[in-house]
Amino acid sequence: MRYTTSMDQEMKRRVTACAAGFSLPRYRELPSVGLYLDQTVQLVNSCFRGFPGVELTPSMVSNYVKKGVISHPVKKKYSREQLAALLYIVLSKNVLSLENIEMLFRMQRAHCTAAEAYDSFCDEVENCLPFIFGASSSIRDLDPDADDEKRLLRGIVRRLPEKERQLMVQRFGLFGARVHTQKQLADQMGISQSYISRLEKRILSKIRKEMLRECAKS
């Protein structure tokens, strides 16, 4: 029993040390040329050495492709975008179902590029892991320039119904998404640009009223 406890403490110490200096390669640092399956698995696993249970196997990759969570490799090679997706899946699969992960990927593709989403994910993971494993006493603010009004606006947008939230996120480039014109949104959603304009004005009016209500409380 004492031996087991000692081993657990040593494992915890190693994981904490790994978390303290943990970093993921950014999108531009991932191989720009396709990798074969064994190379893909090796690269992903090399990023998580020191974290027990965080690993990828060839059969897992094949299963993700089969279920449509990631796209099929081209000529048996996995692209930079697929590598980024696999790095996300490896960390998320213990807390999210594959169905939820696939849904998040669909939302990401609608709102921002794979590079933007993946790099943002890297920032958040590197920020949170040291705190989770006790290597840091706090989580830093990744957007220190954001004032109280910006934070309030983000909170209100997050509470909007799904359709309205997606429109605002894409229209104004919120949360790192690309900015879309009214015409681009109309074409994407299969509705008229004039309807998008009316919907936008209605949502902005709702947001303005909610912000005034929240400010009155403080």
Look up residue 34 and give its two tokens. Answer: 């396709």
Give the C-alpha separation, 189 to 167, whole Å: 10
What are the pLDDT digits (tens) for 83-124?
999 999 998 887 788 888 888 788 777 667 888 888 888 888
Q: Which residues have a Cβ under 8 Å from the Cβ of 182 and sit 6 or more positions away?
A: 171, 193, 196, 197, 200
SS3 35: strand
> Alpha-carbon distance 105 to 15, whole Å?
29
Look at residue 35 and tell me whether its pLDDT is greater than 70: yes
Overall pTM surpassing 0.85 (yes/no): no
Every domain of the chain with CATH number 1.10.10.10 lies at 148-217
Residue 191's contacts (CB-CB under 8 Å, 6 or more residues apart) are none
- Summarised one tens digit per residue, pLDDT across range 171-206 is 877 766 677 888 888 888 888 999 989 998 888 888
Q: What is the mean pLDDT of the chain?
A: 80
Would you say residue 137 has pLDDT above 70? Answer: no
Which numeric CATH code is attached to 148-217?
A: 1.10.10.10
* pLDDT at residue 8 tops 60: yes
